[in-house]
Amino acid sequence: MKKTILIVSLVLMLFPTHSLLAQKANWVFGGRFGLSIVSATGGSSTGLQIGPMAEVKFNRNMAVGTEFNINTQGGTSIEWADYFKYYFDVQGSKIKPYINGGFSLWFYTGGPYFGLRFGGGANFPIAPKLYIPADLQLGPVFASGTSVFYFAITTGIRYEL
């Protein structure tokens, strides 16, 4: 019985990936670096943010992605974020503006916390399939007994396969 449940679970987890690959999805890999600000009732702190990212463009204008960010604020908080991204078409321009939103898990003193994440930015081409993003992310993180507000201004590098 346990083997059957495990096999069914694996098939269901792989089905969305298979359907994305069947549509000739484009993969985007890269990293981010920038400034992050965390504000809570007791004050705020500023730090650097750095981390890898991966994204699957399953349509010309839509993608899903994930990031794993390390922040240098007190306690060295770590964020794992998943998001949906929509790219806008700009006629006559190679710049790709976007908006995104999703969920995040924060790991720092006191346990993992749930967060909401919204933002946007633009990818600026520097070579074929190579981009430098200008990105803004913000949203609440629901910590024990208080809510924390997260804000980040970052850049980085993106390569589209």
Question: For the segment 102-158, what is each residue's pLDDT rounded down to a tens digit?
Answer: 999 999 877 799 999 999 999 999 999 999 999 999 999 998 777 789 999 999 999
Tell which wins on pLDDT, 79 or 76. Answer: 79
Q: Where are the alpha helices (DSSP H) in the chain?
A: 2-22
Phi/psi region, residue 139 (left: phi>0; alpha: psi -120 to 50; beta: rest), is left
Please say if the pLDDT value at position 12 is more than 70: no
Q: Which CATH architecture has domain 26-160?
A: Beta Barrel (2.40)
Mean pLDDT of 20-24: 56
Q: Where are the domains of the chain?
A: 26-160
Q: Length of the chain, please?
A: 161
Query: 97-133 in b/e burial notation, b at 16+ Cβ within 10 A?
Result: ebebebebebebeeeebebebebbbbbeeeeeeebeb
Nearest Cα neighbor of 63 from 30, 38, 36 is 30
CB atoms within 10 A of CB 89: 9
Percent of the chain predicted with pLDDT > 70: 86
